[in-house]
Structure formats: structure tokens, C-alpha cells
Chain A
């Protein structure tokens, strides 16, 4: 009897975890969208370089923006990746996806876009990364 109860409890635990993982996996398709955007940049930037989050040019985000932008990023992982390195000797690239298409939270998205100067699409910041040699 005790063994059966334990089995039920463990099965319920694993089931709950599986349902959660499924919802996490289905929450957004931004990685695919991002991949498509990167594919659109092929020729300018190697899509196979590491992606990093960051403010334009990797500068620190103004503190008072952080929570809003953080919420936005959390919803949109890789929303504004800074691509470091790549075939063009370390240019920094900022990619911003149209918010509405990605279904992000609108007020936060508006804020972010205002901060970025209403540029919704792709920004290529020709700034050499200050990486290690």
C-alpha cells in the first residue's frame, strides 16, 4: 500500500513537471523568429556567433529601465542580442524584433522602443567589441 502511494506521488510529481516544461517550451517561438532574423542578416553577420543580451553596444542599461526591460527580455529571450565577434572582426550588432509580431507585453515594448529611438527592426552598431585579444 505504501509503495503504491509513493508511486502515485512520484508519478504526480513527474507529470506536473512535464506539463510545466511543455508550457515553457510552447510559451513563445522567439528563438525561431530570432533565427529567421539572423538568417536575414546572413552576409553581414555570421548567425553562428554567440548571442548576448545587452543594451546597445553593450553599455549598461540605465537603472530605472532595468525592471521593465528585464521583464521584456524575460518574455523575449534574445530580443536584443549583442552579437560579439563574427566575421566582421568584432562589430557589435543589436537586433530588435517588432514587438507586436512577437506578442510581447505592449507597454514594456513601447518603453523599450522609445528608449531605442523608435527603431523596431535591426540595428547594426558598427562598434568594435572591446574583447580580449
Chain B
């Protein structure tokens, strides 16, 4: 069945590519975006099969046939239109990016271990294993394993379970491949999106500064943070882009909404991004509507999951249970941890942001940056509700919060620098 699963994803990807043909971007970025959309939809399809109690084999076969038929119809209709032929040209920046991908792959294999890091096996792969068993998957919500955070969204476990189901076995290779594909997608989006109308070196430099050894090791841990980072990055790219108007807004909504399917932090980001866009909606009221349209499906899936299945989140359910460290002292502690962790972890990202602030402050200070910065503030404020020892909680998770936002922040800094370079050279991005 793995061939059917992968075939359906591939056809869905080609279909999404066709739907995105109007997007004025390179073929590479369009392909990566289409692939992420296809994978996300298949993860949702797997969850739908579980929720509806319908056999996944039948559903994925139907999806394969439907995708094939739709693709056939689209291609047949467009056959009369001359299509560009030949492979795209390759330049030095592309080679540098490919070389960096090879180096990143080496670092990934050095860090990657069977079943991943602590949360990898104790939360994400564990949830995936529950989802593998379609008859009794709701046992994962048992209070007996409340420590596994059964309220966490299920897109990553669903993707893993779907591939396990396809391959017919719970194999440790699948989470490794999913983690690697996610890392590669983050790198590809950073590189390709930064290259849009900007010099090639800015794409390679932005990617290398954001995806450093620490980021790669975290990606290899099989946690959901890298998948969330991918969605936040894509949402920021399309919020910032504004090149194709309606399509950019819908895609921004789709990816911001999909972030909610990965981790609870994604819900905070979606709420903040919606609010930021709503504030700016006076000039373009339709924008927020298009953004919400893009987010409709993941938003509906999240609401259904949270209302019908997910237990109460431990931060919310236990807030104050152990004398929540609310107050100035706790806030100061959170701020201190944030400053030291950011300074120790985000060297490349901070360089890009500071350089962007110095060289092109007006380009950097954008609604997309506001959405990410306010989201970080919300993440930090959530620590004040922590029922756990605050020091332990900060040590255990703050680095991963920064991991989630670092590609998006790196993109914004590098894009501002690249736009300024183009402007100073009198290029199309000038003014």
C-alpha cells in the first residue's frame, strides 16, 4: 500500500503545482509549496479516516483515483498551451546550497538516533503508534498516559502513522525520513524564497545562517518543532510576499492555519497573525477574508480535535496548581532566560536581524515580523501560567520555542538585506 500512499501524495503534489501555476515564483519554490500542501492534506485525510471510522486503504485508493482523474483533466485542458521546456539553469549559489544540503545531511545523520530524542519517542512517535491502530486509537487520550500530552495536535503523528500504515509496519525509518524531509523543506523554502528577485548569495547565506548545527540536531530529534518552524516560515513568506495578491493571502492563511495542526504554539501564532492582519485590514479589508479562507480547513480540523477529543492542556488545566509563578520576579526570570538562550542559540539569525535593522529598517519592520515577535511574546507569557518549576520548564522548552521561529526570523532579516541590496543596485526591488 505504500505505493498507493506515495502515489496519491505525488499526484496531489502535481495537482497543487498546477493550481499554483499562476504564482509568480520559481518552479522550485512552487514544487516545495505543493509538496507541503499535499503532505498536509494527506495527514488530514488519515485523521479523517480515523475520525470517520472508515478504512484508510479504501480512502487513500479513492484519493489516488480522484487525484489522478483531476490531474488528467487539468493537463488535458492545458495541453494546447505551450509549456516551458528544459531544465532550469544552475548557478554558483545553487551549487553552494546543494553543498550545504549535503553537509546538513551529514550532521543530521550524526545526530539522528533510533526513535529520536525524549519527546520524539515519548510523545510524537508514541501518538503515531496509537494512530496506527485505527480500531482503538482514542486510547491515547487515557489519563494513564497524560504525561504524553494527548492534547497536542496530531498532524505529525498522522503523517508518520500514515506511512507506517502504507508500509505495513511500525518501522523507525519512517520518523527519520519525515524529520529529514521537514529539515530539507525548511532549507529549500529559505533558499528559494530568499532568491525570489534577490541575489543568489542572499538565499545561500540566509539558509546557512538559519540552519546551523544546533538547528539540524534539533530537527534530527524527531520533535514536532521543525514541522512547526516550516509552517511558520511558509506563513511568513506569504504574508510578506504580496506579489500575487489573493493567492499569497490564501497561502499565508493555509500555512498559518496548518501550524495549528502541529503544536499548540501554532494556535497562538495563527491568532496573532490574524490579529495583525486585521489591524492592517483597513486599507485592504478583503485580505483578512482571503487569509481566513485559506485557514478554513485546518481551523475546522483544529476546532473539532480540541472540542471533541483533546483533554485540557496541562498549562491551562493546572495553571496555578503549584503556585504559578506569576509576578514581576517570574517575568524577569523568563526575560533573562529568553535573552541568554537567544544570544546563545540564534547567532546567525540575530546577525541577519541586526544587519536588516541597520541597513533596511523599514523593510524589516513589517506585519510579518510583528506577527512573529508578538507570538514569541505570547509563548513567553505562557510560562507565567506554568504549573511546573519555572527554571526547569524554561530550560526544557525555551530553546525549542526559538527553534520554531528562527527560520521565519532569518527569512525576514535576510529578505530585508537582499531587498536593500537590489534597491542599491537599482534593480526591480528598488525604491
Task: List A residues at the B interface (Cβ < 8 Å).
Answer: 2-3, 5-6, 9-10, 12-13, 16-17, 19-21, 24-25, 27-28, 31, 48-54, 57-58, 60, 66, 70, 73-75, 77, 82, 84-86, 92, 129-132
Residue of B nearest to A70 (CB): B118
Collect the chain B residues with CB atoms within 8 Å of residue A73's CB. 115, 121-122
Collect the chain A residues with CB atoms within 8 Å of residue B90's CB. 2-3, 6
**Given A50-B132, A74-B115, A132-B143, 9 more pairs with CB closer than 8 A:** A10-B98, A16-B106, A25-B173, A27-B114, A51-B129, A73-B121, A82-B145, A84-B139, A129-B143
Residue of B nearest to A57 (CB): B144
- Find B105's partner among A13, A84, A129 (CB 8 Å cutoff): A13
**Is B138 positioned at the interface, with any CB of A under 8 Å from its CB?**
yes
Residue of B nearest to A92 (CB): B144
Collect the chain A residues with CB atoms within 8 Å of residue B137's CB. 50
**Is B328 positioned at the interface, with any CB of A under 8 Å from its CB?**
no
A20-B176, A25-B172 as given contacts; A9 in contact with B129, CB under 8 Å: no
Which of B90, B113, B132, B145 has the largest count of A CB atoms less than 10 A from its CB?
B145
Residue of A nearest to B130 (CB): A50
- List 21 A-B pairs, Cβ < 8 Å: A2-B94, A3-B87, A9-B99, A9-B102, A20-B109, A21-B176, A48-B135, A50-B129, A51-B129, A53-B122, A53-B126, A54-B145, A54-B147, A54-B148, A60-B147, A73-B122, A74-B118, A77-B121, A82-B145, A84-B144, A130-B144
Collect the chain B residues with CB atoms within 8 Å of residue A28's CB. 114
The 5 A-B residue pairs with the shortest CB-CB distance, nearest first, are A58-B144, A131-B142, A20-B109, A130-B143, A9-B98
Is A24 within 8 A of B141, CB to CB?
no
Residue of B nearest to A61 (CB): B147
Collect the chain B residues with CB atoms within 8 Å of residue A25's CB. 171-173
- Give the complex CA separation of A58 and B148 in angstroms: 10
Collect the chain B residues with CB atoms within 8 Å of residue A12's CB. 102
**Is B291 positioned at the interface, with any CB of A under 8 Å from its CB?**
no
- Give the complex CA separation of A121 and B49 in angstroms: 37
- Find B145's partner among A21, A24, A52, A86 (CB 8 Å cutoff): A52
Collect the chain A residues with CB atoms within 8 Å of residue B106's CB. 16
Q: Could you mark each residue 172-188 of chain B with 1 if its beta carbon is under 8 Å from any beta carbon of chain A, else 0?
A: 11001100100000000
A25-B173, A54-B145, A58-B144 as given contacts; A5 in contact with B95, CB under 8 Å: yes
- Give the complex CA separation of A24 and B125 in angstroms: 15
Is B95 within 8 A of A24, CB to CB?
no
- Give the complex CA separation of A50 and B94 in angstroms: 45
- Give the complex CA separation of A39 and B137 in angstroms: 20
- Give the complex CA separation of A16 and B139 in angstroms: 38
Measured CB to CB, the closest approach of chain B to A17, in angstroms, equals: 6
Collect the chain A residues with CB atoms within 8 Å of residue B138's CB. 132
Residue of A nearest to B104 (CB): A13
Collect the chain B residues with CB atoms within 8 Å of residue A5's CB. 95, 98
- Find B109's partner among A17, A129, A131 (CB 8 Å cutoff): A17
Measured CB to CB, the closest approach of chain B to A131, in angstroms, equals: 4
Residue of B nearest to A22 (CB): B173
- Find A54's partner among B108, B114, B144 (CB 8 Å cutoff): B144
Measured CB to CB, the closest approach of chain A to B86, in angstroms, equals: 11
- Find A52's partner among B94, B114, B129 (CB 8 Å cutoff): B129
Is A50 within 8 A of B91, CB to CB?
no
Is A9 within 8 A of B101, CB to CB?
yes
Is B139 within 8 A of A131, CB to CB?
yes
Collect the chain A residues with CB atoms within 8 Å of residue B72's CB. none
**Is B83 positioned at the interface, with any CB of A under 8 Å from its CB?**
no
Q: Could you mark each residue 239-283 of chain B with 1 if its beta carbon is under 8 Å from any beta carbon of chain A, else 0?
A: 000000000000000000000000000000000000000000000
A6-B98, A57-B144 as given contacts; A85 in contact with B114, CB under 8 Å: no
Which of A21, A48, A82, A86 has the largest count of B CB atoms less than 10 A from its CB?
A21
Measured CB to CB, the closest approach of chain A to B234, in angstroms, equals: 22
Is A16 within 8 A of B109, CB to CB?
yes
Measured CB to CB, the closest approach of chain B to A86, in angstroms, equals: 8
Residue of A nearest to B109 (CB): A20
Is B95 within 8 A of A130, CB to CB?
no
Is B112 within 8 A of A131, CB to CB?
no
Collect the chain B residues with CB atoms within 8 Å of residue A131's CB. 139, 141-144
Is B177 within 8 A of A21, CB to CB?
yes
A82-B144, A82-B145 as given contacts; A53 in contact with B121, CB under 8 Å: yes
Is A85 within 8 A of B136, CB to CB?
yes
